[in-house]
Amino acid sequence: MPEVNRPGRGAQEPPDVAVADVGPPGETHGVEVHDRAEGCVLGLALGDALGAPFEFRRAHEIPDPLPAFERPWMGRPPGVTTDDTAMARNLVRSLAARRGFDAEDLVRRHVEWLASGPPDVGALTRRVLRRVADGRPAEEAARSVWEERGPEVSAGNGSVMYCAPLGVAFAHRPDALFDLAPRLSAVTHFDGRCRTAVLAVCLAVAALVRGEPAQPAVRGALDAALDRPGGEELEFLVDAVGGSRPVDGPDQGFCLFTAAVGLRAVLRAAEGSEAAEGRVERELRGAVALGGDTDTNAAVAGALLGAVAGRSGLPVAWLDRLSDREAIEREAAGLVPLAEEGSDALRRP
C-alpha cells in the first residue's frame, strides 16, 4: 500500500465543498451527505458483525476465503453485533436526542445498557461503568481506573470502537471535535493515546462525510493527531499494520492499532477501480484477515468505508443478514440533520 501523501507540517489543504461532487470517481462522487452519514453507522455494524466470530484469533487461524455472515458469535446467530455496535447506538441515540454531544446523557445510556446484561463488555469499560453506577462521575471513574491499572494496560480500543457517529454529527463543524472527541474517549478511556485515536477517527469520518477524498481526509486527521500522545506512532502504524507490525498478538486491543486499521482500509479502498460495494467488501475482509480484535478493527474500518461509499455502496447481501438492520438504519437517519448542520459555511462561493 502506498504511504499517505505528506505535505509539509502545518500545510493546509484547500477547503472542500459540502456537496457530494467532490473528489475523483470511485471515492465520494455522486454520494449524498445523508447517504454517507447513514453508511458510516451501518458500515460500523457490518464490520462488527463480520468480525465477531473470529475475535481474538491469530491471522493464520482466520479462514481464507472468509465465511462472511455464516458463523455464530457466542451462541447467537450469524449477523449479530457486539458491544461495539451497542455502544455506538447509544451514542447515535444520544446525539440525536440531545442535538449534540451530552456526556451525562451518553453515560446514563451506557450504564443502563450494562445493567441489561449484555453478553460481552470490555474489561476496562465494565470497571468504569460500574463505578459510575455507584455514583462516581464518569471522567473521574475513568481516570481512577487508568491510574490504578497503569498505562501499559489502559490504552485499549473500547472508546475508538464506537466513536465514529460523533464525526458524522459534526461533519460540517469539525473544529468542535478537537474538544468533543477527547471528551468522548474520557467517558471510559482516559489514556491520552485513546483520546488521540478517537480524535483521528472522528476527524477522518467528518471529512469523508462532507465529501473529501480519502487521501486528504486521512492526512488531515493524522496531522491533527501528530503532536498528541501516540500521534507519531499512529502515523507509522497506518503504513505498518498487518505488515511489519502484526495486530494479532498479546497487545491486539491497542487503540492505535484499531484506528490505523480503519484509516489504512479507507486508503486502500480508494486505490480500487471496482464498484464501491466490492471495495468495501474487500477491505472489510482484509481487516478481519489481520486477526486479533477482529470485530472492533472491522467496525472502525466499516465506519470509515461507509462514510465514503454511503449506505448505497455497502454490500447488499451483508446488509440483508445484519441483525436489527432496520432499527440501526432508522437511528442512523436521526444523525443526518446534525451532519448537515453548518454545511453552508463550507461552500465555496
| Backbone phi, psi, residue 11, to 5° | -65, 140
Does the structure show a pLDDT above 60 at 21? no
Rounded to whole angstroms, how far apart are CA atoms 164 and 205?
6
Does the structure show a pLDDT above 70 at 51? yes
Output the CA angle 15-213-12, nearest 5 degrees: 35
Rounded to whole angstroms, how far apart are CA atoms 49 and 82?
7
Q: Which of 238, 234, 255 is nearest to 188 (CA)?
A: 255
Question: Which tens digit of pLDDT belongs to each residue from 215-228?
Answer: 999 999 999 999 99
According to the model, what pLDDT value does residue 18 have? 29
According to the model, what pLDDT value does residue 5 have? 53
Q: Which of 29, 65, 46, 61 is nearest to 212 (CA)?
A: 29
Q: Which of 235, 221, 230, 85 is nearest to 165 (CA)?
A: 85
Residue pointed to by grid coordinates 492505535: 256
Beta bridge partners of 292: 57
Q: What is residue 29's three-state secondary structure? A: coil
Rounded to whole angstroms, how far apart are CA atoms 299 and 161?
7
Beta bridge partners of 245: 241
Instruction: Please write down the HEC assignment for all residues of 287-325.
Output: HHHCCECHHHHHHHHHHHHHHHHCHHHCCHHHHHHCCCH
Rounded to whole angstroms, how far apart are CA atoms 304 and 205?
6
Hey, what amino acid is at 177? L
According to the model, what pLDDT value does residue 151 have? 85
According to the model, what pLDDT value does residue 272 have? 76
Percent of the chain at pLDDT exceeding 70? 90
Does the structure show a pLDDT above 70 at 237? yes
Does the structure show a pLDDT above 60 at 29? no
Residue pointed to by grid coordinates 493527531: 225
Listed range (99-113, 265-279, 298-312) with the worst mean pLDDT: 265-279
Rounded to whole angstroms, how far apart are CA atoms 27 and 289?
24
Does the structure show a pLDDT above 70 at 102? yes
CB atoms within 10 A of CB 93: 17
Mean pLDDT over residues 99-116, rounded?
A: 98
